[in-house]
Amino acid sequence: MIKTVQIIVSGRVQGVCYRASTQKIAKAHNIQGWVKNLPDGCVEIRACAEAQQLEHLISWCHAGPIFARVDGVTVTDVDTVDLAPGFIII
Give the active site residues: 19, 37
Q: List, in order, residues 6 or more apart from 16 with CB less than 8 Å away.
A: 64, 65, 67, 68
- 3-class SS of residue 13: coil
CB 43 within 8 Å of CB 8: yes
Q: The sheet that has 2-12: what strands, in order across it?
A: 69-78, 2-12, 43-50, 32-37, 87-89
